[in-house]
């Protein structure tokens, strides 16, 4: 589905990504975990075409999209749920979702938009309840649902999500991750970038650790959860104090 080889990207002279190679196979949920500033958002923005790759190649569905414009990449079926939701605040929920269907209409599938809308409402009943409400008046969690719903309206082959849990209450975070897990089980392909590594690894099949613009590890999500380096750096477990507390290590 997605195959990236030795990608380099950044802002002007500032190199953020150094020869990053990753892949996402159809039906997989793949997560990229890493600290703030590791390059996670830069990676997604480069794949989406919002940022130009300085070197390396990006193959989406076997096509080299490294030089494609963002709209062309979206048209090919690569959707981005951006960091901070970025819903269109002065528009209603329905209008936001219809905007998401834009590429579907361009593909000549305008007639399917109504049923797709139904599917999004089935996934997010809360959005159905607020279909005529202005997006700007929704709660953070609802806005995140709207952003995901908007991406789904494009019938993407790959959904990239940038920090979907950011700024949300723990209970809402749980709902959002349950939705992503469900998308995965329904055959969607997801590339998930998250600071909440534990939650992301619990729903992912595979993961990469990104540090200072470099991939340090590629493993199954299960193995990453068991990796002590990952636990210490990203899962917020203080292994040493655990030893002191209960006298044995887990």
Q: 14 vs 9, 55, 82, 119, 149, CA distance in Å?
A: 9, 14, 22, 42, 34
Whichever of 79 and 210 has its CB closer to another protein, that residue is: 210
Least separation in angstroms between residue 192's CB and another protein is 17
Interacting residues toward another protein by CB under 8 A = 3, 5-6, 18-19, 21-23, 25, 55-56, 208, 211, 214-219, 223, 226-229, 239, 249
Least separation in angstroms between residue 34's CB and another protein is 13
Whichever of 129 and 240 has its CB closer to another protein, that residue is: 240
Whichever of 60 and 208 has its CB closer to another protein, that residue is: 208
Q: 163 vs 33, 175, 199, CA distance in Å?
A: 10, 14, 11
Least separation in angstroms between residue 74's CB and another protein is 24
Contact 138, 130 (CB under 8 A): yes
Least separation in angstroms between residue 244's CB and another protein is 13
Whichever of 3 and 107 has its CB closer to another protein, that residue is: 3
In 62-209, where does DSSP find H-type helix?
Answer: 70-76, 93-100, 102-106, 113-123, 125-129, 140-152, 170-185, 197-203
């Amino acid at each position: 589905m997605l195959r990236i080889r030795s990608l380099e990207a950044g802002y002007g002279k500032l190199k953020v990504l150094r020869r990053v190679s990753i892949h996402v196979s159809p039906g997989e949920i793949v997560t990229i975990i890493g600290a703030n500033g590791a390059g996670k958002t830069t990676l997604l923005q480069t794949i989406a075409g919002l940022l130009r790759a300085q070197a390396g190649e990006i193959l989406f569905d076997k096509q080299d999209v490294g030089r494609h414009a963002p709209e062309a990449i979206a048209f090919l079926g690569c959707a981005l749920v951006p960091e901070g939701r970025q819903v269109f605040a002065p528009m209603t929920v329905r209008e936001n979702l219809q905007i998401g269907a834009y590429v579907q209409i361009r593909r000549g599938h305008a007639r399917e938009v109504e049923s797709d809308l139904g599917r999004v409402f089935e996934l997010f009943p809360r959005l159905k309840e607020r279909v005529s409400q202005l997006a700007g008046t929704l709660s953070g969690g609802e806005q995140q649902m709207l952003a995901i719903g908007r991406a789904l309206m494009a019938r993407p082959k790959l959904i990239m999500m940038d920090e979907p849990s950011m700024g949300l209450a723990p209970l809402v975070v749980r709902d959002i991750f349950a939705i992503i897990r469900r998308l995965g089980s329904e055959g969607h392909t997801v590339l998930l970038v998250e600071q909440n590594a534990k939650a992301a690894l619990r729903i992912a099949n595979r993961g990469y650790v990104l540090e200072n613009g470099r991939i340090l590890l590629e493993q199954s999500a299960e193995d990453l959860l068991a990796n002590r380096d990952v636990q210490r750096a990203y899962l917020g477990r203080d292994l040493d104090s655990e030893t002191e507390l209960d006298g044995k290590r887990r």
